[in-house]
């Protein structure tokens, strides 16, 4: 059972693979106004005399032009990044009630991260596709593209094309990101012809968790760089042209609220997909969320930090150990856990079959149980 808050959020979070081209364009202009200088009157009604001359070196006033000149050059980023950002076109044949299935076309993005032709994208871009076509900005088209592996848990997938002299981008370190850092989102926005679209923004927040259809995605980068339908699977890059995230979802309740899977999450997933074609996750079988002041107040929790257990899967390791919906996990083995990411990382460091102690708060009382980790079932 999902929490009421999770159900509500799911209705507004949209995965951004393009299944229908939107035939509309909006333009916006921004203007400003100048501020007049003021003269301070003296108490006697005259004008204050000029300040005495000092020996300090005067500094140039800050002007709009000077502020613009201090901005980084996104043109350099574009030149470095766009050759390795690909458009992915898919064909799916969904089941039909009338036994006459109609092929459906979709579009997304990806980034070549290895010159041997390996491309990182979203799972929801390629999942269920019967045909995959990859277009490069230099005009090359690759049909019959092979899916190396998919991971629904992190919404990531790796596909491969066979070609020569393929451009590629390095996978960066998203742990070095700070809120306010510049980032650039690149992708096949609205499946427009003529190559990738670049949009610019900043890192708005780090470590976000969101509910999307079928999954809860954790450790996401939130950005106000506009992310549009068709951008799914495209890279979020820093000013050095390094991939720090994979664009995956937008929240339609607001403006400029987009999310990307961090490279901290993606790097080990990519390694497993390239090695075995799948990702094996240790699993305890709980749906969780962060304890926020709003949640603590609404549910009258007796703690102000920890990981809230929103659901427990029937017959899962957590259920067998006695964890319940409404418990607040505060410790995994000897490690304090105050965030979903900390719990997630603690579990992923374990192996299948490990017996681990989980400490939680229930009805204001601290309790500890032992949970035996299992492999996450396929399809969850």
- Output the domain CATH number for residue 182: 2.40.10.10
**Would you state the pLDDT for residue 24?**
32
Give the three-state DSSP class for 64.
helix
DSSP type of residue 169? -
Tally of domains in the chain: 3
The domain of 363 spans 282-375
Give the three-state DSSP class for 329.
strand
On average, the pLDDT of the chain sits at 83
**Would you state the pLDDT for residue 304?**
85
CB distance 238 to 170 below 8 Å:
no
What lies within 8 Å, CB to CB, of 317 at 6+ separation is 283, 284, 285, 371, 372, 373, 374
Q: Which of 276, 305, 338 is the last residue of a domain?
A: 276
Torsional sign, CA 159, 285, 4, 264: negative
* Catalytic option among 232, 262, 311, 316: 232
**Would you state the pLDDT for residue 59?**
53
* Catalytic option among 3, 87, 109, 124: 124
Q: Which position has the higher pLDDT, 103 or 143?
A: 143
Decide if 124 is catalytic.
Answer: yes
pLDDT at 6 over 60: no
Decide if 155 is catalytic.
Answer: yes
pLDDT at 330 over 90: yes
Q: Which of 249, 276, 303 is the last residue of a domain?
A: 276
State the average pLDDT over residues 231-252.
95
Cα separation, 232 vs 257, in Å, equals: 14
> Is residue 349 domain-shared with residue 291, that is, in the same domain?
yes
**Would you state the pLDDT for residue 357?**
97
**pTM for this predicted structure:** 0.73
The structure tokens listed for 285 are 């079988």
**Would you state the pLDDT for residue 331?**
95
Decide if 204 is catalytic.
Answer: no
320 lies in some domain: yes
Strand partners, 296: none
Cα separation, 364 vs 275, in Å, equals: 45
CB distance 296 to 326 below 8 Å:
no
Q: What percent of the chain has pLDDT over 90?
A: 59
Confidence of residue 211 (pLDDT cuts 50, 70, 90): confident
* Catalytic option among 3, 109, 155, 262: 155
Q: Which of 251, 276, 301 is the last residue of a domain?
A: 276
């Amino acid at each position: 059972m999902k929490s009421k808050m999770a159900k509500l959020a799911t209705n507004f979070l949209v995965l951004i693979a393009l299944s229908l081209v939107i035939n509309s364009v909006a333009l916006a202009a921004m203007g400003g106004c100048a501020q007049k200088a003021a003269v301070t009157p003296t108490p006697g009604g005259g004008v204050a005399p000029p300040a005495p001359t000092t020996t300090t070196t005067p500094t140039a006033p800050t002007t709009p032009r000077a502020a613009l000149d201090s901005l980084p050059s996104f043109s350099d980023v574009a030149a470095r990044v766009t050759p390795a950002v690909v458009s992915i076109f898919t064909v799916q044949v969904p089941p039909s009630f009338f036994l006459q299935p109609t092929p459906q076309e979709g579009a997304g993005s990806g980034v070549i991260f290895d010159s041997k032709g390996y491309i990182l994208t979203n799972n929801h871009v390629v999942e269920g596709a019967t045909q995959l076509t990859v277009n490069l900005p230099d005009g090359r088209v690759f049909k019959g593209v092979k899916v190396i592996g998919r991971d629904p848990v992190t919404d990531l997938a790796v596909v491969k094309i066979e070609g020569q002299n393929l451009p590629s981008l390095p996978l960066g370190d998203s742990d070095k990101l700070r809120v306010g850092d510049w980032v650039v989102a690149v992708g096949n926005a609205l499946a427009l012809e003529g190559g990738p679209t670049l949009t610019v923004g900043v890192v708005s927040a780090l470590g976000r968790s969101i509910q999307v259809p079928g999954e809860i995605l954790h450790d996401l980068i939130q950005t106000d760089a506009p992310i549009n339908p068709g951008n799914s699977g495209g890279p979020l890059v820093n000013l050095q042209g390094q991939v720090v995230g994979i664009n995956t979802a937008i929240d339609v309740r607001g403006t400029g609220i987009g999310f990307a899977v961090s490279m901290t999450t993606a790097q080990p997933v990519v390694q497993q997909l390239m090695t075995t074609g799948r990702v094996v996750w240790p699993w305890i079988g709980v749906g969780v969320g962060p304890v926020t002041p709003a949640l603590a107040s609404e549910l009258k929790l007796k703690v102000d930090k920890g990981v809230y257990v929103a659901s427990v899967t029937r017959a899962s390791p957590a259920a067998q150990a006695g964890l319940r919906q409404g418990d607040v996990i505060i410790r995994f083995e000897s490690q304090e856990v105050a965030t979903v990411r900390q719990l997630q990382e603690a579990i992923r460091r374990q192996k299948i079959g490990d017996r681990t102690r989980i400490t939680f708060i229930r009805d204001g009382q601290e309790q500890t149980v032992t949970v035996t980790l299992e492999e996450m079932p396929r399809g969850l």
